[in-house]
Amino acid sequence: MTEKTNKTVKTSEQDLKARIWRGLSGKVLVMTIIFVLIGEVLIFLPSIANFRITWLKSRVAVAEVAALAVEAAQDNQISNMLKKELLRGAEVKIIALNKGSSRHLMLQADGDLMIEEKFDLRERQWIMPMVDAFAVLFRTKDRLIGITDHPPKMTGTDIEIALSEKPLRDAMLTFSVNILSLSIFLSFIVAAMVFLALNYVLVRPLRKFTLNMLRFADDPEDQSRIISPDDRQDEIGIAQRELKHMQVQLSTTLHQKSRLAALGLAVSKVSHDLRNMLASAQLLSDRLSMIDDPTVQKFAPKLISSLDRAIGFCEQTLKFGRANEHPPTRERFDLRPLAEEVIDAGVIQASNHVTLYNDIAADLVIDADREQLYRILMNLSRNAVQALESSIKQGTALRECSVRMKAWREGGVTTIEVRDNGPGVPARARKHLFEAFTGGARAGGTGLGLAISNELTRAHGGELRLITDADMGAVFWVVIPDRVVELHPGKRGKREVSAS
Ligand SMILES: Nc1ncnc2c1ncn2[C@@H]1O[C@H](COP(=O)(O)OP(=O)(O)OP(=O)(O)O)[C@@H](O)[C@H]1O
Ligand SMILES: [Mg+2]
């Protein structure tokens, strides 16, 4: 079992080391690159739109200068050569000025000029410029476009220009390629920085954490494997300190438990040998009791009963030392006869002053391990008899001392009540009532009876309860549920038919 666990842990540790790129670090790196690229795309959209507007406005500005040059000439007349020169310099085909309601064509290139789409730069828009910019990037055919804008210098005038879209597209493509390469370069730098930062702040401490947990799980008793927390105030620091606290507690508890287990083993061995020695002493004292000497006759029974008690004590300890009771072998049987047996054994121990009653209905059936239930009821009734006897000795008992057993069923749960009218369970016994060796408050008791009874009841899926609101005496309830019945549809069908 341990070997198997160790093997699993070792594989996991190797796995963890091999996992660096598949693990958190790799994921963080890929996610950072993706997020930075998304960020860059989001920045690219408005910037390409802005680039287009700025480019067009620069054409408008140059066109305005050309228009001013034409206006400066006499009667707006310039030579053909100058006209061509101005249009070429401004990279436009048509320049017109709108002054009030009149339109003045300032310059126009030769040939057939068909404007395919017009754009108005006077209006400020957000979404459409981005759509238009994208359309330019993906349009392969060159065309003539018209632009209307306020010229930078001439107030109260609008300028209209017509120009070929191809130079704009070329400039936008160059800009995009530049931006794209810069983005990729930046995203890798940012991703590397974010990756290193996250790796340092989160991933490394988490790996340390996980490795430590794996190592600790391998051998929780080894105190050198307890995590040494970093001096950090964040959540990881808190988690490390909490883990350390837990590991210290677990390690100490395990250490204590293994020492107790060793001690228990030693006690079992001692009890075993002691019981054998006491048994020999018992034989000798039996023979001693045959001697017809009044002093011997006076002390021999006391010696024998002391030895009996000592042997009983050793046997109980040994029984308890057996790590676990065997699981209950359950059967359905009438409870009343079993209670009768318990009462018969109890009567032998009890003096004439204590009466034991069996108030259990004759037809009450219980689903339990007969042998174990006998031991539970025996412990409870013996405790009751002992408590009553001691109160009789002290003169505090009632006139009629009784122990009563009754039982009832509620659905699939049977409750057996053992009630006496003695002094009740003392407060100091109540605290650790069902804990082995610590619950006993009676001189000569081992403090095992209720612990064993509780363990046996729990093995039945039930519960042993001390009912505290009893007016007087002690009332114990043994609550035992029936076994869960497996329903097989076929079989159930048959049974129902035969039942009807
Ligand atoms: N019916 C009862 N009335 C009064 N006190 C009780 C009763 N049953 C149990 N006790 C108290 O609870 C303590 C624990 O009982 P438990 O049966 O576990 O141990 P024990 O009787 O002392 O020893 P043993 O292992 O021999 O049974 C007793 O010492 C006693 O003080
Ligand atoms: Mg007892």
CB 225 within 8 A of CB 218: yes
Judged against a pLDDT cut of 80, whether residue 199 lies above it is answered with yes
How confident is the prediction for the chain on average, in pLDDT?
Answer: 84
Pocket test for ligand 1, best of 271, 392, 435, 450 (most atoms within 8 A of CB): 450
Greater confidence, 474 or 156?
A: 474
449 in contact with ligand 1, CB cutoff 6 A: yes
Predicted pLDDT of residue 405: 97
Pocket test for ligand 1, best of 442, 466, 471 (most atoms within 8 A of CB): 442
Judged against a pLDDT cut of 60, whether residue 10 lies above it is answered with no
Kindly give the distance from the C-alpha atom of residue 429 to the centroid of ligand 1, in angstroms, as a whole number: 8
Judged against a pLDDT cut of 70, whether residue 440 lies above it is answered with no
440 in contact with ligand 1, CB cutoff 6 A: yes
Kindly give the distance from the C-alpha atom of residue 420 to the centroid of ligand 2, in angstroms, as a whole number: 14
Please report, as a single letter, which amino acid is at residue 367: D
Residue extents of the structural domains in the chain: 24-186, 244-321, 331-481
Q: Determine which helix (DSSP H) or strand (DSSP E) holds 452, and give its type and residue range.
A: helix 449-459
Atom of ligand 1 nearest to the CA of 473: 3
- CA-nearest residue for atom 21, ligand 1, is 445
Share of the chain above pLDDT 90, in %: 36
pLDDT digits (tens, 9 = 90+) for 12-46: 556 655 555 567 777 878 888 888 888 888 888 89
From the CA of 387, which ligand is nearest?
Answer: 1
**3 state DSSP class of 463:** strand
Residue whose C-alpha is closest to residue 141's, from 117, 161, 166? 166
- CA-nearest residue for atom 9, ligand 1, is 383
pLDDT tier at 248 (50, 70, 90 boundaries)? very high
Please report, as a single letter, which amino acid is at residue 103: R
Predicted pLDDT of residue 20: 57
Which residues, 6+ apart, have CB-to-CB distance to 69 below 8 Å? 78, 82, 86
pLDDT digits (tens, 9 = 90+) for 264-298: 877 877 877 787 788 778 878 888 888 888 888 88
Burial of 26 (0-12, 13-18, 19+ CB in 10 A): middle
- CA-nearest residue for atom 8, ligand 1, is 383
Greater confidence, 180 or 338?
A: 338
Predicted pLDDT of residue 166: 94
146 in contact with ligand 1, CB cutoff 6 A: no
- CA-nearest residue for atom 4, ligand 1, is 425
Q: Distance between CA 198 and CA 29 in Å, rounded?
A: 9
429 in contact with ligand 1, CB cutoff 6 A: yes
From the CA of 442, which ligand is nearest?
Answer: 1
pLDDT tier at 49 (50, 70, 90 boundaries)? very high
383 in contact with ligand 1, CB cutoff 6 A: yes
Judged against a pLDDT cut of 90, whether residue 110 lies above it is answered with no
Predicted pLDDT of residue 9: 47
Judged against a pLDDT cut of 50, whether residue 3 lies above it is answered with no
Greater confidence, 135 or 320?
A: 135
Q: Distance between CA 389 and CA 353 in Å, rounded?
A: 8
Predicted pLDDT of residue 295: 86
Kindly give the distance from the C-alpha atom of residue 10 to the centroid of ligand 1, in angstroms, as a whole number: 50
Greater confidence, 401 or 439?
A: 401
Judged against a pLDDT cut of 60, whether residue 500 lies above it is answered with no
Share of the chain above pLDDT 70, in %: 89
Predicted pLDDT of residue 261: 83
420 in contact with ligand 1, CB cutoff 6 A: yes
Predicted pLDDT of residue 78: 83
Q: Distance between CA 109 and CA 113 in Å, rounded?
A: 8
Rounded to the nearest 10 degrees, the angle between the axes of helix 370-394 and helix 449-459 is: 150
Predicted pLDDT of residue 470: 59
Kindly give the distance from the C-alpha atom of residue 298 to the centroid of ligand 1, in angstroms, as a whole number: 29
Rg from Cα positions in the chain: 49
Residue 71 in tokens? 């206006």
**3 state DSSP class of 245:** helix
331-481 CATH pick, 3.30.565.10, 3.30.70.1560, 3.40.50.970, 3.40.50.150: 3.30.565.10
441 in contact with ligand 1, CB cutoff 6 A: yes
pTM for this model (two decimals)? 0.48
pLDDT digits (tens, 9 = 90+) for 123-143: 888 889 999 999 999 988 899
